[in-house]
Structure 1
Amino acid sequence: MHWQAFSQIERAVDGRRPTRSLLTLLAMHRGRVAASVGFFALKDTPLWLMPVVTAQIIDVVVAGGPLRSLALWAGIALVALVQNYPNHVAYTRLFMGAVRDIGRDLRNALAERLQALSIGFHTRANSAIVQTKVVRDVENVEVMLQQAAHPLLSATMVLAGAITMTAINVPQFLPVYALAIPLAVLLRAILNRRSRARNESFRREVEEFSARVGEMATLLPITRAHGLERVAVRRVAHGADGVRQAGFALDLLNGRFASLSWVSLQLLGVGCLVLAAWISVSGWLPITAGQVVLLSSYFALLTQAATGLLMLLPIIARGTESVRSIAEVLQEPDLELNEGKRPVERVAGDIRLERAEVRYEFGEPPALDDVTLEIRPGETVAFVGSSGSGKSTLLNLVLGFLRPTRGRVRLDGVDMQELDLRTFRRFVSVVPQESVLFEGSIRDNIVYGLGEVDDERVLAALRDANALEIVESQPRGWDTIVGERGARLSGGQRQRLSIARALVRDPRVLLLDEATSALDPESEAKVKEALARLMRGRTTLVVAHRLSTIRSADRIVVLEHGRIVETGSHDDLVAAGGRYAQLHRVQSA
């Protein structure tokens, strides 16, 4: 899908008007939907035609002939029934194809929106809940459209056929059909008042339970290490009980409503049959035995259709609640706005912060406060300071994950507010403290997102990252699967592969966030050697707690409480006897 199509999906989905949203989504496939309705009308002909055939055959039997009329009506019934198969297949192909396309488009639009939302949103949002919206809620919408369309169209065709045939045969009986409409509306109103609240409660419980399960999976090593298995199970069990209670309350509501609907409409159907028979026997209207069957059959079909539609209300309520859930993401305003901004064609690596301030919440102290700093192309600048001093915030500001609440950040002299930061990040590589690998081969992880990359380029990156020995030690070389999050490799191995991933991209700007802090001395030595090759000739920003890893930096910037308190080389700062010297003495001891 093109981004304009994503935008169209986003505009279509409105959490305040879920029904209109669904109609708008269907209208995006109006050609196929309209054709499918035509095929449905043809294939459903037997439903309203068979009562007419039955009534005519009964009247032939009562009159004692003629036999050719019997053969005529039998032939009509045969043609009506046989045509159902090809038309039903055509309806299914067209309508269900449109529904599956809607499901695909919603999932793609959610993925696109999630990529456009700010890092702040993803920090607040729970990944398991987001996953539930993309998987479960979209599936609920698909199920609702699949299960609701057939009964709704069938009821419409039966109503049209019943009214037409009754108007032709016994027009005086038409007002009786009107009794079913207020009854169905009343029953729907009874359910609707309570259904939305129960469905929303159930959805929230499922989302919270998904979050608990995701949390349990993430914390599994910690849980095992501290013998907290029962605590973890109790937390999940508490969430499961919440889902059970909310789901059971919803089931009871739907069960009571289903029984009330069925009894009410069946009583109405029996009443119609008795009324038609009484009118025929009393002679109040000239109704034949066949017409009594006709009227009774049509009313039975109408009440059956109305019952079917009312039974669908729980599925429709669940689907519309899922539309509201999807809209929470598609209508989330916290976007990283890039569309229409100037693309970055090349990067020299000159970065300037001009009185930059970042506040996460107004009323709270700023994470960065009045920071002015120039980083020249090819320069290596290290940032140190105590926890919460603003080091990671500064890296996120340079990446464009955060926007300054005051001041500006310039890239090669241009205000980054004016740039499409997605195009800037093509010239950037990040090596974090914990290297993130996906469950694929070593080679796939290194060339992730680059398309076709020749083997020599990959080999060179592995060699420069001191990672070639990792590949050579694996049974299948770089086709070896690394496991989820690289679980089959050590921390040092994952980090060297992360450096190879950065090298193969040949970035102009490099961000290193505690890249060696979690490694043993032997792994750290290999990673530091690889990082030295990676940093050569590139603008590099380094965040480090271990001061020994940044001695060779061109400049060291000391941050405290979001402000720059010292700047200089390692030797200069140690000689100055300030905050850096204090940190150095503590670590040296």
Structure 2
Amino acid sequence: MGEKALTGTLRVIDGPRPVRSVLRLLRRRPGRLAVAISAFVMKDIPLWFLPVVTARIIDLVSDDGSTTEVLVWFGIAAVLVVQNYPMNVVYTRNFMTVVRDTGADLRNALTDRLQSLTIGYHTRVSASIVQTKVVRDVENIEIMLQQVTQPLLSSVIVLIGATSMTAIAVPWFLPVYALVVPIALLLRWALAKRSRTRNETFRREVESFAARVGEMASLIPVTRAHGLERTAATRVAHQADGVRRAGLSLDVLNGHVSALSWVTMQMLGLSCLVLAALFALSGILPITPGEVVLLSTYFTLLTQGLTQLLVLIPVAARGLESMRSISEVLQEPDLEQNEGKRHVDSITGHLLLDHVSHRYADAERDAIHDVTLDIPAGRTVAFVGSSGSGKSTMLNLVLGFVRPISGRILIDGHDMQDLDLRTVRQWISVVPQESVLFEGSIRENIAYGLDDVDDDRLRAALHDANATEFVDRLPEGWHTLVGERGARLSGGQRQRLAIARALVRDPRILLLDEATSALDPESEELVKKALDRLMEGRTTLVVAHRLSTIRRADDIVVLEQGEIVEQGSHRDLLARSGRYAYLHSTQAGTTD
């Protein structure tokens, strides 16, 4: 989705006014919408005109009229009925194109917006909830447009047609029609607030349930390892019961809406029929038998249409609640601000952290406090320290996932606050502890995001990542599918593919976050050799718990409670017998 299209979608979204948002989205395709409405008007002509034909034929029969006139009216009715087919096809094709395009616009806008939101937002909001908004909520809006639009247009057209024909044939009966719409609107108003509240409650329960199911799926290995299957099932069952109760409450309300609407409208229809008959029999109004049928039919059409609309209140309420849900993402202000900032065409990799501090929301102290660090291009710097010392925060600061609350970070002398971080990250690669692969082939995973990469370049990356041997042994080579999140590969194989993915991009800055800590000794040795090739000539920041993996780093930075307590080479730090020497001896097993 282009930037212009995304901006257009965002501009029409009005969170507190979901009806306005939906109408604005539909109006973005005025040509198709106009054709669809015109075709609908044509196809629905029989609905309001056939009662006229019926009334006329009844009067001809009661007055001994000519057969020729009956056949003429039949011919008119037949033409109107037959044209319904092509007009319905035209309406469906054009209107459903608008609906499906609108759904695609919303999904694309959500996707682009999610890519623009900060890592902080994605930390706060469960991925399962995000998935629910992109899939379920957009589907609810599409269903609402499919199911509500046709009866709404039909009711409006019947109301206009019936009112016009009655005004011509029996104008003194119009005040009776005037009762229908106000009563329907009164019912809608009386039920709307309760319907909205219960739909919102149900939506929140479904989102919470989706988050719980996602959590359960990700924790299955831990759950099985500790024999906690019953505990996990109970947690999900508790959330499922919340969905059940909220859904049942909504269903009961919808049952009240349906029954009350049907009873009210049927009583109005019966009243109209009896009233017209009484007027005709008593002679109060000059109404013919055909006109009694005409008035009764029109009133039945009106009440049926309004009943259908009232019954569809739950569908409309669910769709509008989904529109509010989507607007929560599209109007979320926690954006990574890149627009209008300087684009970066290339970098050498010189990093400078100048008195940098960062504190996470609701934290009592800084995660990083007043850190100053100069890292020349091509140098390897390792961060060590106990858990919570700020190691991963250092990498997140360099990536721009979090911003300093004081101080500044310079890349090649340019403040990161002034740079478009999307262009900066094109020159950065990350190899995390758990490599992330998507469900596709090995080749697709390595070349992810690269349009013009050739086979030789990919092959070289696999070779340098020590991955060629195992890839060539696979049945389909690098066209082999890796499974969801790389499930068909071992941890060491996934990690080597992550290194190949980094190599093929030829980054200037490399971030290694516990890249070997989850591997067995044999896999670790292969990965370490691949990392040595990857790190060559690049600015590299390493986070590692295993100090044996960082001995050859140019500089080792020891962090405690977000502050630098020691800095130097492996040999220098051991000679000082300080914090690093203690950590090293602890891991080597030489202290109590």
Tell me if both proteins adopt one fold, taking TM over 0.5 as the criterion: yes
Alignment of 1:123-162 (within 5 A): 123-162=123-162
- The equivalent of 1:541 in structure 2 is 541
Give the secondary structure class of the aligned counterpart of 1:39.
helix
Task: Find the aligned partners of 1:161 and 1:185 in 2 and give their Cα distance.
Answer: 20
CA RMSD of aligned residues (A): 0.9
Letter in 2 for 1:28: R
How many angstroms does 1:393 deviate by?
0.5
- The equivalent of 1:231 in structure 2 is 231
- The equivalent of 2:241 in structure 1 is 241
How many angstroms does 1:452 deviate by?
3.3
- The equivalent of 1:99 in structure 2 is 99
- The equivalent of 1:532 in structure 2 is 532
Residues 1:56 and 2:53 aligned together: no
- The equivalent of 2:399 in structure 1 is 399
Q: Percent identity?
A: 66
- The equivalent of 1:478 in structure 2 is 478
- The equivalent of 2:113 in structure 1 is 113
How many angstroms does 1:14 deviate by?
2.0
Deviations 1:477-502 (A, max 9, x none): 11111111111111111111111111
How many angstroms does 1:530 deviate by?
0.6
Residues 1:390 and 2:404 aligned together: no
How many angstroms does 1:11 deviate by?
2.2
TM-score normalised by L of structure 2: 0.98
Deviations 1:495-519 (A, max 9, x none): 1111111111111110000011111
Task: Find the aligned partners of 1:225 and 1:398 in 2 and give their Cα distance.
Answer: 36
- The equivalent of 1:318 in structure 2 is 318
Task: Find the aligned partners of 1:49 and 1:208 in 2 and give their Cα distance.
Answer: 51
Give the secondary structure class of the aligned counterpart of 2:510.
strand
- The equivalent of 1:501 in structure 2 is 501
Deviations 1:513-558 (A, max 9, x none): 0011111111111111110000000010001111110110010111
Give the secondary structure class of the aligned counterpart of 1:369.
strand
Q: 1:362 to 1:254 in 2, by over 3 A?
A: closer
Letter in 2 for 1:352: L
Deviations 1:423-455 (A, max 9, x none): 111111100001111111111111111123211
Task: Find the aligned partners of 1:563 and 1:10 in 2 and give their Cα distance.
Answer: 42
Residues 1:444 and 2:437 aligned together: no
Give the secondary structure class of the aligned counterpart of 2:540.
strand
- The equivalent of 1:342 in structure 2 is 342
- The equivalent of 1:457 in structure 2 is 457
Alignment of 1:414-429 (within 5 A): 414-429=414-429
Task: Find the aligned partners of 1:77 and 1:15 in 2 and give their Cα distance.
Answer: 46
Give the secondary structure class of the aligned counterpart of 2:481.
coil
How many angstroms does 1:35 deviate by?
1.7
Alignment of 1:333-372 (within 5 A): 333-361=333-361, 364-372=364-372
Task: Find the aligned partners of 2:162 and 2:361 in 1 and give their Cα distance.
Answer: 64
Task: Find the aligned partners of 1:353 and 1:191 in 2 and give their Cα distance.
Answer: 59
Deviations 1:180-209 (A, max 9, x none): 122112211221131111101110111111
Bigger Cα displacement from structure 2, 203-212 vs 354-363: 354-363
Letter in 2 for 1:75: G
Deviations 1:270-297 (A, max 9, x none): 0001110111111111111001100111
Give the secondary structure class of the aligned counterpart of 1:6.
helix
Alignment of 1:10-409 (within 5 A): 10-361=10-361, 364-409=364-409
Give the secondary structure class of the aligned counterpart of 1:16.
coil
Task: Find the aligned partners of 2:385 and 2:225 in 1 and give their Cα distance.
Answer: 31
Task: Find the aligned partners of 1:322 and 1:532 in 2 and give their Cα distance.
Answer: 50
Q: Unpaired segments of 5 or more residues in structure 1?
A: none
How many angstroms does 1:124 deviate by?
0.8
Give the secondary structure class of the aligned counterpart of 1:161.
helix
Letter in 1 for 2:453: V
Give the secondary structure class of the aligned counterpart of 2:301.
helix
Bigger Cα displacement from structure 2, 106-115 vs 9-18: 9-18
Alignment of 1:499-578 (within 5 A): 499-578=499-578
Letter in 2 for 1:100: R
- The equivalent of 1:490 in structure 2 is 490
Task: Find the aligned partners of 1:89 and 1:430 in 2 and give their Cα distance.
Answer: 53
Letter in 2 for 1:218: S
Task: Find the aligned partners of 2:210 and 2:42 in 1 and give their Cα distance.
Answer: 44
Residues 1:8 and 2:8 aligned together: yes
Letter in 1 for 2:486: G
Give the secondary structure class of the aligned counterpart of 1:263.
helix
Q: Unpaired segments of 5 or more residues in structure 2?
A: none
Letter in 2 for 1:207: E
Letter in 2 for 1:303: T
How many angstroms does 1:231 deviate by?
1.9
How many angstroms does 1:363 deviate by?
6.2
Bigger Cα displacement from structure 2, 355-364 vs 215-224: 355-364
Deviations 1:201-223 (A, max 9, x none): 11011111111111111111112
Task: Find the aligned partners of 1:363 and 1:248 in 2 and give their Cα distance.
Answer: 40
Task: Find the aligned partners of 2:444 and 2:452 in 1 and give their Cα distance.
Answer: 11
Letter in 2 for 1:491: G
How many angstroms does 1:362 deviate by?
5.6
Letter in 2 for 1:41: V
TM-score normalised by L of structure 1: 0.99
Task: Find the aligned partners of 1:257 and 1:311 in 2 and give their Cα distance.
Answer: 6
Bigger Cα displacement from structure 2, 221-230 vs 327-336: 221-230
Deviations 1:223-253 (A, max 9, x none): 2222222222222222222111111110110
Letter in 2 for 1:179: L
Letter in 1 for 2:223: T
Give the secondary structure class of the aligned counterpart of 1:165.
helix
Q: 1:545 to 1:363 in 2, by over 3 A?
A: closer
Task: Find the aligned partners of 1:15 and 1:62 in 2 and give their Cα distance.
Answer: 59
Task: Find the aligned partners of 2:457 and 2:361 in 1 and give their Cα distance.
Answer: 45
Task: Find the aligned partners of 1:362 and 1:439 in 2 and give their Cα distance.
Answer: 37
How many angstroms does 1:471 deviate by?
0.5
How many angstroms does 1:13 deviate by?
1.7
Deviating 4+ runs (over 6 angstroms): none
Letter in 1 for 2:201: S
Bigger Cα displacement from structure 2, 301-310 vs 187-196: 187-196
Give the secondary structure class of the aligned counterpart of 1:540.
strand
